Amino acid sequence: MNENKRKYTVGVDFGTLSGRAVLVDVNDGREVSTAVHPYRHGVIDRRLPDSDVELEPDWALQDPNDYLEVFKKAVPALLAESGVDPADVIGIGIDFTACTMLPTTVDGTPLCFLDRWRDNPHAWVKLWKHHAAQPEANRLNETARAFGYDFLDRYGGKISSEWFFPKAWQILDEAPQLYEAAGRLIEAADWVVWRLTGQEKRCAPLAGYKAIWSREIGFPPNGFFRALDPRLQNIVDEKMSRQLYDLGEKAGGLTEEAAAWTGLKAGTAVAVANIDAHVSVPAATVTEPGQMTIVLGTSNCHMVLGTEEQIVPGMCGYVADGILPGFYGYEAGQSCVGDHFAWFVENCVPAAYQLEAAERGMDIHELLEEKASRLVPGENGLLALDWWNGNRSILVDVDLTGMMLGMTLATRPEEIYRALVEATAYGTRLIIDTFNRHGVPVSEIVGTGGLPERNQLLMQIYADVTGLPITIPVTSQTPAVGAAMHGAVAAGRRAGGYDTIFEASRQMSHLRDDRYEPIVENQAIYEVLYQEYVRLHDYFGRGANDVMKRLKEIRYRARRHPQAGVMPAAEVGA
Amino acid sequence: MNENKRKYTVGVDFGTLSGRAVLVDVNDGREVSTAVHPYRHGVIDRRLPDSDVELEPDWALQDPNDYLEVFKKAVPALLAESGVDPADVIGIGIDFTACTMLPTTVDGTPLCFLDRWRDNPHAWVKLWKHHAAQPEANRLNETARAFGYDFLDRYGGKISSEWFFPKAWQILDEAPQLYEAAGRLIEAADWVVWRLTGQEKRCAPLAGYKAIWSREIGFPPNGFFRALDPRLQNIVDEKMSRQLYDLGEKAGGLTEEAAAWTGLKAGTAVAVANIDAHVSVPAATVTEPGQMTIVLGTSNCHMVLGTEEQIVPGMCGYVADGILPGFYGYEAGQSCVGDHFAWFVENCVPAAYQLEAAERGMDIHELLEEKASRLVPGENGLLALDWWNGNRSILVDVDLTGMMLGMTLATRPEEIYRALVEATAYGTRLIIDTFNRHGVPVSEIVGTGGLPERNQLLMQIYADVTGLPITIPVTSQTPAVGAAMHGAVAAGRRAGGYDTIFEASRQMSHLRDDRYEPIVENQAIYEVLYQEYVRLHDYFGRGANDVMKRLKEIRYRARRHPQAGVMPAAEVGA
């Protein structure tokens, strides 16, 4: 191909702490340049920027201006670094954490940009991990059950406090005037596309996974919202939109203003927004059923494509055309994976190990991996339940907590570390088994995210525990590349892109040559240990012994009333 | 009292790593001087001294010469430091770890002192924590059950591998010629008394607690030993003695040789040997039923006096006149207490905490105690089973392992530390409840050993969890003082001592003024948590889910065959 004919797209991945932009060659997916822009205000969880307004413990906010800065800083950096002519950049796509939502005026101005609302925490972006809407989530779930609405079935039986309506309802509950002033309530993903194109074109799968929307039924009926709170009755029509757009569609062209921010040409095709985990799927070469894409990071996100609608217990949700067109996109998750190891390193690794790592110039995680790699399966004698941050799938229960057993006076830190890794592998195996049992087959794994590159031991244990081969994409930035692929689809074949995400994936995504195969001997012993895991999982997770919940309740009361730290036995023990 | 009339006794406490001698005023128990002599060879668990002979993993030996060195070094130091006239020292008593046993010639010369046997590990002292006789212990227990011998009932249903006959049998199994050459097999406690007096006068309670002897029945019948191994048939008559002596009896007078070692006068009364934990009871002021003496150290030892013979499930043993004359001496135990905290500090305390302790000039245990003290009961949200070293009472099961649950990503090291302390307190509460339910009442606690002085938080938690007041003796060296009290009884009233241990205890032992009272609010919450502990205790400890044993078996095989690390699922999972 003549160099002149090369076309490029830009993908922008909006993460929790920074935005990552990548410039990709449309022909083969080659990553030409990358730029990362950390958000100036990061996660706002103590006090509002330039303000004395303090936040409650479970809050997590962001500043929408930080997102715009990514367009203004990182995208121009791509062009500068690569020397690519903006005329050869045919499209741009974005992906975002979700549900990450904000209130704006009808023209899309965030309320936190306005002096009148700037000191109100509810005016800011509620980040995905904002957990202060749990009371609203509880009431929503109770109401849905009481009224017999069956949409909970699509979400493993429960709506999370992280999702759209609990967050929206919290605004109404705590700041009714601000709620009234909000012309729009919108996912940040859709909002940045709006900023780029001047058009509010909301992504259908975002509504499907986070706002109880389905292609067949739409949003819950107004009567449901009225049952929650009469003032919510018309929330969809007043603050949102019933007009939704599919993945890969062109939301519009870059406005002059956005062209000036980015250095790209006005009119450049902008794709409808996407969810960060989901956009990784085609970038990981996965375009058909049977392959599970797992994003392994602080938490795990498991995605599978299915040809039929199935109710799989305990998944996070499924949406028709939710990940790729023509398939049901099924999602499950584990809420504590990389976070688990980080907790362990911070709280449980002795000084001698830190010293050894420092002396050998190693990261402490590397040292633990090295030591744990010397153990054979079963040698640690330990078994853990990976619920330090609750259980997302398949139990969908945030009140479960961690468990470990088998410790002796000879138990070493690397043995505990390995047990934590193994526990997350058992959790993934249980998710896969559950999909398989309920008509969504899984026969291989593609591992993406931060962990597969960094932790070979973890990948081998996952292969051994699941009994499935694991491949890894060439790119280490699947979300941004996946977003760029959607930019190429938004541009279309005529402009030098592709007409479908399938074509784009075939051309632009690649796997590494090496792969992790299950080791037969390890599989045999992990099969035994997995059965033990399942037995404990069911004992502690399915009501035989709700000790974890009772302890959590006791702890909660003890912290609320530290001066007493006490309650009548009869009140708690039941 | 005229200073000239003051009389003194010496107590020598033979611990695991050193011998501690104390010179005590007979009149009031005042500790005049103390001297500690560390054993030159400590615990021999890698290779024999001055030798290439390596030991297997579970071995733990000692050099009997190290014990004699205590008499030669520490006792003279007492006299030198105090200036007391040896003529005013009327008696000496010793206590020892048990079962700590050795083979000697008929005249009491340890086989390891003889060139012919010195290179054979079986010629040395088998320390209490020598665990290599587990196969023999298993076969002994199986045989006793098969033949319907009911003596297991006196020991919670099982004889430990730490006790006398498994250790003796291991010698026969692995070194039959050495077994043949041993004229005597004897507790080190009895052996040092023999060295002091020239007379082999064995202590009856030592045989009662460690060698399946009872006052009513004596040793098991020869037929039982024959069933174990025909060569063991006459072990009692050939290698031991059926003539046993009670606590407080005079074993004899110091020989000229021993007088030269110690600097004491020849003929000074020497008491029959005693067990280290038991000798603490009268030194802790406990001389009647209802009071539980707990030695809190690396492990916990619980002792109660009873007026009737009761079968209490899961105790370590009971012996008539075993602790004090006229009472059944009941003993129970927890195998992991101080060891628990030591394990935690070595393996789980992060560098930041070590740094903080160093900067503040604190011991790391102190720092953890300080941080854990700021938590109220229930605030850590954690619950543990204290089985890192198996369960001695009331389950009598070495194959159980540790368990903890309730961990979240916010769980801090001091919360885990407090959960470990609490777990040992729940274990003690369960022992007390079991005694109470089976006719051996317990209504208060006297705490001795290393922990009560060092860890106020632990003592308060024990009071709160058990709901019982806890007092602490004035002396911090109860075993040595208790041994000195027995020396005073061996000397008798006529020589300036006492005729009974009850008189000696009344005069020579004292409690501190301060005591730990249960805090009512804490008791209420710990009552709830204790019920949770009992439920998990029974689930994991009584067969509902033997996962701990299966993991241990898997671990055992993985370590034996690390190249494979595997076994057929069907073989293990059952």
Q: Which residue in A524, A536, A562 is closest to B566 by CB distance?
A: A524
Task: Tell me if B381 and A552 make a contact (CB, 8 A cut-off).
Answer: yes
Q: Which residues on B lie below 8 Å from A335 (Cβ)? A: none
How far apart, in whole angstroms, are the C-alpha atoms of residue B541 and residue B87?
56
With respect to residue B301, please indicate whether it lies within any of the assigned structural domains: no
**Closest by CA position to A156, among listed A306, A323, A311:** A311
* Cβ atoms of residues A194 and A108 within 8 Å: yes
> In terms of domains, do B379 and B496 share one?
no
How far apart, in whole angstroms, are the C-alpha atoms of residue A221 and residue A199?
26
pLDDT of residue B569: 35
Residue B506 phi/psi, 5° resolution? -60, -40
Write out pLDDT tens, residues B301-325: 999 999 999 989 888 888 999 999 9
> In terms of domains, do A527 and A417 share one?
yes
Mean pLDDT (whole number) for B363-381: 96
Number of residues that this document lists for chain B: 574
How far apart, in whole angstroms, are the C-alpha atoms of residue A196 and residue A268?
10
> In terms of domains, do B369 and B250 share one?
no
Interface contact A525, partner B, CB < 8 A: yes
Q: Which residue in A378, A551, A552 is closest to B555 by CB distance?
A: A378
Task: Classify B447 in phi/psi space as left (phi over 0), alpha (psi -120 to 50) or beta.
Answer: beta
> In terms of domains, do B130 and B85 share one?
yes
Taking the CB of residue A170, how many other CB atoms lie within 10 A of it? 22
> In terms of domains, do A53 and A196 share one?
yes
> In terms of domains, do A498 and A419 share one?
no
B559: confidence class by pLDDT, cuts 50, 70, 90: confident
B155: confidence class by pLDDT, cuts 50, 70, 90: confident
Task: Tell me if B407 and A405 make a contact (CB, 8 A cut-off).
Answer: no
Q: Which residue in B548, B555, B565 is closest to A405 by CB distance?
A: B548
pLDDT of residue A571: 35
> In terms of domains, do B376 and B502 share one?
no
| CATH code: domain of residue A271 | 3.30.420.40
What part of B 552-571 touches A (C-beta under 8 Å)?
552, 554-555, 557-559, 562, 564-569
**Closest by CA position to B162, among listed B124, B189, B134:** B134
With respect to residue B437, please indicate whether it lies within any of the assigned structural domains: no
- Minimal Cα–Cα distance from B144 to chain A, Å? 29
> In terms of domains, do B353 and B491 share one?
no
Write out pLDDT tens, residues A352-373: 999 999 999 999 999 999 999 9
> In terms of domains, do B83 and B190 share one?
yes
Look at residue B4 and tell me whether its pLDDT is greater than 80: no
Helices (H), B383-499: 413-437, 450-454, 456-466, 478-491
- Minimal Cα–Cα distance from B334 to chain A, Å? 14
With respect to residue A112, please indicate whether it lies within any of the assigned structural domains: yes
Question: Whole domain around residue B111: which residue ranges?
Answer: 3-136+183-211+244-277+481-508
How far apart, in whole angstroms, are the C-alpha atoms of residue A460 and residue A159?
34
How far apart, in whole angstroms, are the C-alpha atoms of residue A95 and residue A273?
6
From residue A300, how far is each of A192, A295, A540, B540 by CA, in Å? Answer: 26, 6, 21, 30
Helices (H), A99-240: 134-147, 164-174, 176-181, 188-197, 204-210, 222-228, 235-239
* Cβ atoms of residues A301 and A221 within 8 Å: no
**Element housing A129 (H / E):** none
Write out pLDDT tens, residues B169-207: 999 999 999 999 999 999 999 999 999 999 999 999 999
Write out pLDDT tens, residues A254-299: 999 999 999 999 999 999 999 999 999 999 999 999 999 999 998 9
> In terms of domains, do A497 and A562 share one?
no
> In terms of domains, do B494 and B371 share one?
no
Task: Tell me if A348 and B350 make a contact (CB, 8 A cut-off).
Answer: yes
A556: confidence class by pLDDT, cuts 50, 70, 90: confident
With respect to residue A26, please indicate whether it lies within any of the assigned structural domains: yes
A561: confidence class by pLDDT, cuts 50, 70, 90: low
Task: Tell me if A404 and B406 make a contact (CB, 8 A cut-off).
Answer: no
With respect to residue A56, please indicate whether it lies within any of the assigned structural domains: yes
pLDDT of residue B2: 45
Order of strands, edge to edge, in the sheet holding B61-62? B61-62, B125-126, B101-104, B184-187
A196: confidence class by pLDDT, cuts 50, 70, 90: very high
Write out pLDDT tens, residues A30-82: 999 999 999 999 999 999 999 999 998 889 999 999 999 999 999 999 999 99
Using alpha carbons only, give the angle A374, A377, A379 rounded to the nearest 5 degrees: 75
Q: How many domains does chain A have?
A: 2
Mean pLDDT (whole number) for A164-170: 98
ipTM, interface predicted TM-score of the complex: 0.91
pTM: 0.91
> In terms of domains, do A528 and A427 share one?
yes
With respect to residue B472, please indicate whether it lies within any of the assigned structural domains: no
Helices (H), B90-234: 134-147, 164-174, 176-181, 188-197, 204-210, 222-228
With respect to residue B345, please indicate whether it lies within any of the assigned structural domains: yes
Interface contact B111, partner A, CB < 8 A: no
Write out pLDDT tens, residues A425-477: 999 999 999 999 999 999 999 999 989 988 999 999 999 999 999 999 999 99
**Which tokens sit at A238?**
């007043």
Mean pLDDT (whole number) for A533-552: 97
With respect to residue A45, please indicate whether it lies within any of the assigned structural domains: yes
From residue A203, how far is each of A218, A232, A236, A322, B185 by CA, in Å? Answer: 13, 22, 14, 10, 84
